[in-house]
Structure formats: C-alpha cells, structure tokens
C-alpha cells in the first residue's frame, strides 16, 4: 500500500524568498517522518530552488502543470522532459482551474498524462467527476498506473 501523500498547491502565491523560508520551516517541523509524504506544488520559477532545499527530506516537489509536447514552439509552456530533467518528483495535471480557465479537456489532459509518464514522471491527475477518470487515463498501461495518483477535487 502506498503511503499517504499530502500536497500543498501554492497556485500563483509566494515570492522566491517566501517559498524558500516556508519550505525550510516545513522541513524542521516534519523532521524525518517516514510514514507520510508531503508535496509542494509551486510555481515553475521556484522548482529548482525547492528541489535543492528538499534533498534528503520527505518533501516531494510537484509541478503544477506541463505541456503535452517535450519540445516545440509553445511559448510560455513547460516541457515535461525539462521538468523530469531538473528533478521534479510529480506533475499535477487536469486541475479544475486549468479546465475552466484554459479550456483543457479530458483529451488534452490525457495527452499530457501520457507524455509525462513517457518521461518517467509520477503524475497526479485531478478530476472532479468519476466520469473523467477513464478518458484521462486512456492508453495508460497497467504498469504506468503505478505512477499515477488520482486526486478528486
């Protein structure tokens, strides 16, 4: 059985110094707890700083989103290959705000999920309804399912 994971999605809050200070305080409070995993979903700008700060701690760093392509003319998007390359632990995909504000569909989320998995990343798939689960996981193998967490919002 997988150990519980608690993820704090910071959305577009905190500045760099605030994020670093928060994580340093969190590390002290958590100590070396091995029975729980804590994830911090931060803005992309701070991910590499937070990865360095959380080395050898029970804190995982989570990207809030990724594109469905690894490379290309996608200004402002984040490559899942680049996220994996810098050491991001998880990527969150399908968040309801992405669906509502950026018109992401189950099909779009599915493309992102498969690309992230193909880059060896663990994926947190956010859904609001059970009917969204099957379409966003279409084409995902049973083995890859071990890398997926379903988050119900």
Tokens of 53: 């700060």
CB 54 within 8 A of CB 87: no
With beta carbons less than 8 A apart as the criterion, state whether 112 and 66 touch: yes
DSSP 28-48: HHHTT--S-EEEEEE-GGGHH
State how far the Cα of 72 lies from the Cα of 141, in Å rounded to an integer: 26
Strands 148-152 and 90-93: unpaired
User: H or E segment at 112?
Assistant: helix 106-118
DSSP-assigned letter for residue 16: H
Taking only the tens place, the pLDDT of each residue in 103-151 is 999 999 999 999 999 999 999 999 999 999 999 999 999 999 999 999 9
Catalytic residue numbers read 95, 153
Q: What is the pLDDT of residue 97?
A: 95
Q: Note the pLDDT tens digit of each residue in 60-100.
A: 999 999 999 999 999 999 999 999 999 999 999 999 999 99
Give the phi and the psi of residue 59 in degrees, each rounded to 5.
Answer: -100, 130
Q: What is the DSSP string of 93-104?
A: E--HHHHHHH--
- Do residues 7 and 124 touch, judged by C-beta distance below 8 A? yes
**Residue for token pair 């498969």:** 114
Contact (CB, 8 A) for 88 and 62: yes
């Amino acid at each position: 059985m997988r150990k519980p994971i608690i993820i704090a999605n910071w959305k577009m809050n905190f500045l760099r110094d605030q994020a670093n200070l928060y994580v340093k305080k969190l590390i002290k409070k958590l100590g070396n707890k091995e029975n729980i995993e804590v994830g911090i979903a931060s803005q992309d700008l701070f991910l590499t700083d937070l990865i360095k700060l959380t080395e050898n701690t029970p804190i995982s760093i989570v990207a809030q989103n990724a594109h469905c392509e690894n490379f290309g003319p996608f200004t402002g998007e984040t490559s899942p290959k680049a996220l994996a390359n810098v050491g991001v632990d998880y990527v969150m995909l399908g968040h309801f705000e992405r669906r509502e504000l950026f018109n992401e569909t189950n099909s779009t989320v599915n493309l992102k999920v498969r690309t992230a998995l193909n880059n060896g990343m663990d994926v947190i798939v956010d859904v609001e309804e059970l009917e969204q689960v099957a379409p966003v996981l279409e084409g995902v193998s049973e083995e890859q399912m071990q890398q997926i967490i379903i988050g119900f919002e």
